[in-house]
């Protein structure tokens, strides 16, 4: 199995090299949909911005993790390659012609790009002068993919010695690229918050007769902004600091190979902690789905089974938790698919986080005459009556604790509540201490009625007998 996967990776790498060679020979370094890619880049307004502390820290972590002298975050504009952050001062903020940057070539691929030795790479034959000028022989990079799916730049590592990159380190580079992109997304969210706050201040000046009301709104916006920044700064500082410390251990020559794998796993864990907070904050800012043009007819069974439970299965397996499902493949609902996925993912992920090993989580969906019900039920510690009164407040942490020391930001349920409101849905909670918790999502039926509607069908008490086992 492992050998097959490695062979596939090698085949993919060779295919990427052949594609790169073809682009260099033809002189065509412009990706498909270049105009859309440039629009995706420019929406972040990051090209000419000042040096960014978190991004600078991430480049240092990359250099330490891979034991290289140079790590660079590069953004590719229409004519220039912009070195946004670098571990070497002389590269930071520098712009070079796009056709003189390896990264212009690397963004053509969605995979990790590797040149083991730039002095002998056939696809760099047209860039021999550039290769000799830079003085670095090894190059590897992972693309920075925007939320709209376009490669806007890369995070790259360079070394003066020819070398290779293991499969584990390739995966690590991809994960760090994702973390960098999430930091860029978070920066954009903060910028929008500042713009909105400034706009509210201008409205106060122009509308004196609404002074009292507008001042109250401004205070609330400032409070939310301060709360958002303080939580992000506090919670992100810890995982990034731990990641940097672990990466420093990797750089030490006397670390044994077996210990290196363990430290790499720990870097991934603390990085995921930071990413979870970023995801929650970004979702909090991007959960407005009131535009009815974003509503489509979706199949509930496919979303639950293929888009949500399939990837949550691996997380549940690590805690020996079984996920059962019972859904009718004919159920369809007119809704916003992305919002619905985030709602169910949050609830199932919470169920995994707060459930003990060897327990069961049940996910089901049923039709009634006027609505569709989705249930997520676990065997966890339950939620007290007192906690139920405040469980949907943002940044609210409840008395129950994750069973495997997972991170909890207190944002998940507030996101669920707001998204359900945006979808004109209702959420019901059934829980008692030590008796588990069940969340029931209720959605009004769309215009399209399904054949064989189960109008009289209710959530059964013997659900587990009918459920399909998704994870063991």
Dihedral sign for Cα atoms in the order 347, 352, 354, 358: positive
Name the token pair of 200.
Answer: 């509210």
- Cα–Cα–Cα angle for 65, 66, 68, nearest 5°? 120
**Pairing label, strands 113-115, 138-145:** antiparallel
Kindly state the average pLDDT of the residues 142-154. Answer: 93
Q: By the 8 A CB rule, do 137 and 17 touch?
A: no
Lowest mean pLDDT among 72-76, 197-201, 232-236, 434-438: 232-236
* DSSP per residue, 407-453: ---S-HHHHHHHHHHHTT-EEEEEE-TTS-EEEEEEEE--SSPPTT-
Q: pLDDT tens digit string along 197-250?
A: 877 767 766 766 666 666 777 777 677 666 666 445 544 554 565 566 666 666
Q: By the 8 A CB rule, do 375 and 364 touch?
A: yes
What pLDDT does residue 121 have?
72
Residue 295: phi, psi to the nearest 5?
-95, 130
Strand-pair partners of 244: none
What pLDDT does residue 472 have?
33
Name the token pair of 390.
Answer: 């405040």
CB proximity list for 367: less than 8 A, separation 6 or greater: 328, 331, 373, 445, 450, 453, 454, 455, 457
State the pTM of this model. 0.41
What pLDDT does residue 47 have?
81
Task: Output 284 or 152, whichever has higher pLDDT.
Answer: 152
Q: Is 111 helix (H, G, I), strand (E, B) or coil?
A: coil
Q: pLDDT tens digit string along 244-270?
A: 666 666 666 555 666 666 666 666 665
Average pLDDT along the chain: 76
Q: By the 8 A CB rule, do 86 and 154 touch?
A: no
pLDDT grade, residue 92 (50/70/90)? confident
Task: Strand 468-469: give its sheet, edge to edge.
Answer: 426-431, 437-444, 371-377, 360-367, 322-327, 468-469
Name the token pair of 465.
Answer: 């007998």
How many whole angstroms separate alpha carbon 358 and alpha carbon 215? 53
What pLDDT does residue 361 have?
94
pLDDT grade, residue 452 (50/70/90)? very low
Q: pLDDT tens digit string along 329-380?
A: 888 998 988 889 889 988 998 899 889 999 999 999 988 888 999 999 999 8
Query: In this model, does residue 455 exceed pLDDT 50?
Result: no
Angle between helices 53-66 and 211-251 (to 10 degrees): 20
What pLDDT does residue 126 have?
47
């Amino acid at each position: 199995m492992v050998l097959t996967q490695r062979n596939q990776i090698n085949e993919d790498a060779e295919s990427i090299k052949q594609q790169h060679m073809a682009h260099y020979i033809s002189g065509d370094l412009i990706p498909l949909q270049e105009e859309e890619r440039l629009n995706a880049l420019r929406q972040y307004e990051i090209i000419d911005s000042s040096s960014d502390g978190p991004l600078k820290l991430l480049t240092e972590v990359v250099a330490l993790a891979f034991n290289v002298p140079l790590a660079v975050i590069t953004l590719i504009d229409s004519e220039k390659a912009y070195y946004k952050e670098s571990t070497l001062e002389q590269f930071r903020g520098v712009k070079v012609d796009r056709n003189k940057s390896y990264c212009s070539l690397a963004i053509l691929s969605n995979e990790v790009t590797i040149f083991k030795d730039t002095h002998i790479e056939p696809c760099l034959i047209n860039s021999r002068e550039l290769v000799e000028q830079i003085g670095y022989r090894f190059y590897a990079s992972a693309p920075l993919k925007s939320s709209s799916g376009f490669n806007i730049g890369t995070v790259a590592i360079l070394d003066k010695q020819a070398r290779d990159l293991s499969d584990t380190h390739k995966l690590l580079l991809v994960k760090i690229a994702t973390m960098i992109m999430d930091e860029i997304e978070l920066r954009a969210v903060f910028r929008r918050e500042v713009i909105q706050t400034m706009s509210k201040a201008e409205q106060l000046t122009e509308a004196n007769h609404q002074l009292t009301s507008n001042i109250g709104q401004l205070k609330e916006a400032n409070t939310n902004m301060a709360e958002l920044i303080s939580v992000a700064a506090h919670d992100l500082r810890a995982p990034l600091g731990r990641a940097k410390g672990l990466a420093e251990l990797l750089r030490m020559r006397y670390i044994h190979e077996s210990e290196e794998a363990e430290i790499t796993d720990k870097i991934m864990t603390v990085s995921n902690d930071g990413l979870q907070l970023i995801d929650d904050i970004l979702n909090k800012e991007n959960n407005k789905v009131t535009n009815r043009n974003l509503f489509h007819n979706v199949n509930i069974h496919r979303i639950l089974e293929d888009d949500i439970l399939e990837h949550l299965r691996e997380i549940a397996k690590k805690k020996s938790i079984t996920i059962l499902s019972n859904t009718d493949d004919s159920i369809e609902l007119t809704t916003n698919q992305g919002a619905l996925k985030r709602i169910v993912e949050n609830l199932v992920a919470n169920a995994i986080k707060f459930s003990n090993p060897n327990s069961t989580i049940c996910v089901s969906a049923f039709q009634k005459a006027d609505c569709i019900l989705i249930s997520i039920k676990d065997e966890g510690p339950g939620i007290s009556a007192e906690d139920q009164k405040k469980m949907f407040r943002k940044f609210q942490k409840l008395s129950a604790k994750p069973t495997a020391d997972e991170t909890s930001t207190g944002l998940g349920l507030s996101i669920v509540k707001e998204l359900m409101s945006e979808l004109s849905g209702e959420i019901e909670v059934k829980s008692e201490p030590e008796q588990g918790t069940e969340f029931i999502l209720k959605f009004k039926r769309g215009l399209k009625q399904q054949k064989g509607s189960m109008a009289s069908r209710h959530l059964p008490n013997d659900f587990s007998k009918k459920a399909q086992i998704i994870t063991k």
